[in-house]
Amino acid sequence: MANRTAYIFWRVLLCLLAGAIAPFSLAPFDYWYLGGISVALLFLTLHHCSPRVSGWLGWCYGLGFFGTGVSWVFVSIHEHGNAPTLLAGGMTFAFVAALAILFALQCWIYTRFFRNSIGFCALWLLFEWLRSWLLTGFPWLYLGYGLIDTPMAIFAPLGGVWFLSLYVVLVGTLSITFFKRLNHPLQSAAILMLLAIPWVAIQQEKVPQDWTSPVGEPLNVMLVQANIPQEEKWIRSNLENILQTYVDLSQDSDKVDLLIWPETAIPTFYKTASVMLNPLIEQLEQSNTAMISGIPTMYLDPEHPKGRRYTNSLTLFAGGSGSYDKQRLVPFGEYVPLERQLRGLIDFFDLPMSEFSLGSADQPLLEAGEAQIAPFICYEIAYPELVRHNSLNSDLLLTVSNDTWFSHSTAPTQHLQIARMRALETGRWLIRSTNNGISALINPEGMISATIPQYEQAVLVGNVQRMEGLTPYQQWGLLPLQILTGLMLLLGLFTAAPGGRRTHKGI
């Protein structure tokens, strides 16, 4: 009995550790190889476990995975929601524990029906996809992001971040399988060949890269990072000073083609803002400079319980036309689930502008001069399929954010890495404008060409290039990987011999 307890204890500890090291493969740490090691440890730990125990081990892995990777949720709840430390910690744990259920289900299915590397890899890809839409989705911490600064990044335009995640998981599981098959030389050699194929293709320059091409002249862009403290932003008496800060920082904007202010840079509605900003708008119109800013929008809606609804929006104030309403809202930050029950309990459930409504799907692109801009607000950029779909007819990507919510945590650097992947997947320049950093201009290879560090009030001026054409991922989306995943699942089921499901007694 003591041996059994110790046996399970060490497996639980190993799963917690394996999950905890996975986010260190991503920004800001970028130890890309830890993703494969994390997967290998989980794959190894599930060996000979019953489905029930595997489910619990998967949940422990998820606790470590999300507990390390999204611990920044605590910052939002505690610092900006004014929740006591214990309450904020409890709410963060509840959030992490709920997300970890997905890993529990994934591991249970694996040991119940598969118990082979091909089934493990297919399930991992399937559950990363599930996280992109289930319950509005939380597409964060995909292991493929860790490969963005490696030669393997060249495959992102082919299958998106999911293709890179698949390779990470293949490396982890097949490494374990390789050592198990050392006494079978042909099988070991086949594994090495499978893992080496992408690297050989890269070395032999067999992977196409120029999926998109420049169109027109480069655009001169100005990003304003005003670094307005979150606690001061929505105080009505601060409105004039906030707008004046942005105007002062934008004093040379008539010399550029495009001026960008970040998410909800303007903490009031368009009618009021346009009057206060009229001198700047007239100046920009005369110089043919387009100005885009984040701003809340109010719509009269007789079908809404309150007769009106609000959206988190991007609007062109000068040099073009169009507006965009956010389609993916942050739970508790922009809307409150179970609103009637939770409103008023603590400050966190009454954050400013936490009554946003969803924008409609298939909104038109923003037109700034000749540029066709696909806009994304805050963590919308983390949804690969949303970005792919909305960027099909664009020649430039724009994402605005307010990462002040996450203070000095890992969230802003993770967010920037995700944005880099979207530029790489679509073969387009991406403009990232934030309130307090990290603002950046990102080229079609996912590399940062210019940036402003966090917590600096500064202006970034640089050039971006409109691009035309589509990458294979934009054209086909997830269909090829979905077909591949389906085939892997079928093969995994077919090769899962009944003897492979036997478990140690009591385990």
Tell me what pLDDT residue 342 has: 47
Tell me what pLDDT residue 79 has: 79
Choose the CATH number for 213-470 among 3.40.720.10, 3.40.50.2300, 3.60.110.10, 3.40.309.10. 3.60.110.10
| Alpha-carbon distance values, 212 to 152, 156, 388, 471, 475 (Å) | 19, 14, 14, 7, 12
Q: Which of 223, 273, 267 is nearest to 433 (CA)?
A: 223
The tokens for 276 are 């206060």
Give CA–CA dist 117/110, Å, rounded: 10
Buried b (16+ CB within 10 A) or exposed e, 298-325: eeeeeeeeeeebbbbbbbbbbbbebbbb
List the domain boundaries for the chain: 2-209+475-501, 213-470
User: How do beta strands 308-318 and 290-300 pair?
Assistant: antiparallel
Give CA–CA dist 218/154, Å, rounded: 24
- 143 φ, ψ to 5°? -65, -25
Tokens 């963590």 belong to residue: 379
Tell me what pLDDT residue 465 has: 98
Catalytic positions, please?
263, 326, 378
Give CA–CA dist 315/444, Å, rounded: 25
First and final CA of the chain: distance in angstroms?
A: 11
pTM: 0.93
How far is C-alpha 347 from the chain's CA centre? 27
Q: Mean pLDDT, to the nearest integer, of 213-235?
A: 94
Q: Mean pLDDT, to the nearest integer, of 191-196?
A: 83
Q: In what order do the strands lie in the sheet with 290-300?
A: 323-325, 308-318, 290-300, 258-260, 219-225, 458-464
Tell me what pLDDT residue 503 has: 46
State whether residue 5 is helix, strand or coil. Answer: helix
| Alpha-carbon distance values, 496 to 85, 111, 175, 186, 230 (Å) | 47, 10, 19, 20, 54
**How crowded is residue 177: how many other Cβ atoms within 10 Å of its Cβ?**
19
pLDDT digits (tens, 9 = 90+) for 29-82: 999 999 999 999 999 999 889 999 999 999 999 999 999 999 888 888 887 777
Give CA–CA dist 133/238, Å, rounded: 38
Cβ-contact 210, 227 below 8 angstroms: no
Q: State what percent of residues in the chain have pLDDT above 70.
A: 92
Q: Would you place residue 105 in the very low, low, confident or very high pLDDT band (cuts 50, 70, 90)?
A: very high
Q: Mean pLDDT, to the nearest integer, of 393-406?
A: 93
Q: Which of 273, 369, 278, 384 is nearest to 328 (CA)?
A: 384
State whether residue 292 is helix, strand or coil. Answer: strand
Inform me whether the pLDDT recorded for 505 exceeds 50: no
Q: Mean pLDDT, to the nearest integer, of 357-382?
A: 92
Please state, rounded to an integer, the average pLDDT across all residues of the chain: 90
Inform me whether the pLDDT recorded for 346 exceeds 60: no
Inform me whether the pLDDT recorded for 156 exceeds 70: yes
Q: Would you place residue 332 in the very low, low, confident or very high pLDDT band (cuts 50, 70, 90)?
A: low
Q: Would you place residue 211 in the very low, low, confident or very high pLDDT band (cuts 50, 70, 90)?
A: very high
What secondary structure does DSSP assign to 88-148, as a single string? HHHHHHHHHHHHHHHHHHHHHHHHHHT-SHHHHHHHHHHHHHHTTTGGG------GGGGGT
Q: Which of 428, 298, 454, 453 is nearest to 376 (CA)?
A: 428
Helix, strand, coil percentages, rounded to 5, for the chain:
50, 15, 30
Q: Who wins on pLDDT, 122 or 309?
A: 122
Q: Would you place residue 413 in the very low, low, confident or very high pLDDT band (cuts 50, 70, 90)?
A: very high
Q: Mean pLDDT, to the nearest integer, of 372-387?
A: 96
Q: Would you place residue 189 in the very low, low, confident or very high pLDDT band (cuts 50, 70, 90)?
A: confident
